[in-house]
Amino acid sequence: MAIPGNLLTTAMAVMPHKNVNQALDAALSLDIPFWPQLPNYSYYEDMYVQAAEHFPGIVLDIEKKTLRFSLDKFVAEFEETMSHFDDPDYFDISTQYSVVYHDFLARDFGDRPAIRGQLEGPVSFGFNVLDQDDRPILFDDSIRPFMFEFMAKRINVQLARLKKRNPNAFMFIDEPGLQFIFSAMSGYGEQRAKNDLDAFFSMVDRPRGIHLCGNPDWDFLLNLDMDILSMDVYTNGEIFSSCAGSIRKFLDRGGVLVWGIVPTGFEAFGTESLGFLAIKLEGIWKHLSKKGLDIEYIISRSMLSPATCCLVNPDKGVTVEKAFSLVNQLSQMLREKYKML
């Protein structure tokens, strides 16, 4: 199994740091390191901006920190983009769009159980990027299929590059927008999303999965064709654990769960302790065990992480780094308890 379990640690990619080395040191402190996304360091390091590189029709204003889409510009640039469609370098993240990514790739990860990359997913990208009429491009039937194919190519290129640094590399597809598709106001229904995501995953190389911090329809997510799911169980644990049947099916077909259990917000983190977080997480596992899921089996297919990213703490990266440290401590404690060392 390329993606390890046994409560190894990783984290979400978006971090509040302005210092590249400090952010990388924090990411490297976890078992499964990743390259951080640092929008406070540069707008190019924003997750949506990085996903937008070379996407035809994008109107990017670095000074104003805006990302838009123009259909006229899309038409003008489409042929140029298609001329590069078989060029991996064109779909990778350039040094202009992430100095962090390239610094990460220069490191030696031969002794790590795995490493991880990420890219903003097409649903969230399509919801977030508005066209000349202030309409999300996800709703444009002529743009949407191309967008899914474009993002799949970008994910595959990054994964291939990461696998050269560690053969067990895998990808998070960051999809915070998935929680909105189940609202009657979304304009993008569940069935359309299911069809689009099934087609999308058929184009994406393994191992791949979804990371989000929100509260979507968990049964929907757990039944997608992916290998790993990263979520905020600190906030959504009770709702998530009610989906025991789908969780079992996901684990039985080889899936790995990343339990986001340590809060990164300044106030929430200050109220927590190692012992309480262990009790909270084990409470979810015990509930699932009553539904027929063995705790040791769950653990064997689980990783631990902070609950969410956080860009707004008054202490910048201090609490986030403390959360990373607490995740490692929690992993060590639970691995000792369940004899996973």
Q: For the residues of 294-329, what is the DSSP string, one character each? A: -HHHHHHTEEEEES---S--TTTTHHHHHHHHHHHH
pLDDT value at position 2?
79
pLDDT value at position 185?
67
Rounded mean pLDDT of 195-210? 96
pLDDT value at position 1?
54
pLDDT value at position 180?
85
The CB-side HSE value for 125 (13 A sphere, CA atoms) comes to 27
Identify the band that residue 279 occupies on the pLDDT scale cut at 50, 70 and 90.
very high
pLDDT value at position 189?
79
> Is pLDDT of 186 > 80?
no
Domain segments of the chain as ranges: 8-337
**Per-residue pLDDT reduced to its tens digit, 28-52:** 999 999 999 999 999 999 999 999 9
Identify the band that residue 184 occupies on the pLDDT scale cut at 50, 70 and 90.
low
**Per-residue pLDDT reduced to its tens digit, 130-140:** 999 999 999 99
Q: Please give the share of the chain, as a percent, with pLDDT higher than 90.
A: 92
Number of residues in the chain: 341
pLDDT value at position 188?
81
Alpha helices, H only, 84-143: 88-91, 99-105, 122-128
One-letter amino acid at 95 equals: T
Does the pTM exceed 0.85? yes
Rounded mean pLDDT of 45-74? 98
Residue 41, both tokens: 């360091």
Identify the band that residue 340 occupies on the pLDDT scale cut at 50, 70 and 90.
confident
**Mean pLDDT, the chain, integer:** 96
**Per-residue pLDDT reduced to its tens digit, 88-97:** 999 999 999 9
Identify the band that residue 295 occupies on the pLDDT scale cut at 50, 70 and 90.
very high
pLDDT value at position 227?
97
For 149-164, give one letter per residue: b (16+ CB within 10 A) or e.
Answer: ebbbbbbbbbbebbbe
Fold classification of 8-337 is TIM Barrel (3.20.20)
Summarize the chain as % helix, strand, coil (round to 5). Answer: 50, 15, 40
Rounded mean pLDDT of 302-321? 95
8 A C-beta contact, residue 67 and residue 60: yes
> Is pLDDT of 304 > 80?
yes
277: closest CA among 315, 333, 319?
Answer: 333
**Per-residue pLDDT reduced to its tens digit, 227-263:** 999 999 999 999 999 999 999 999 999 999 999 999 9
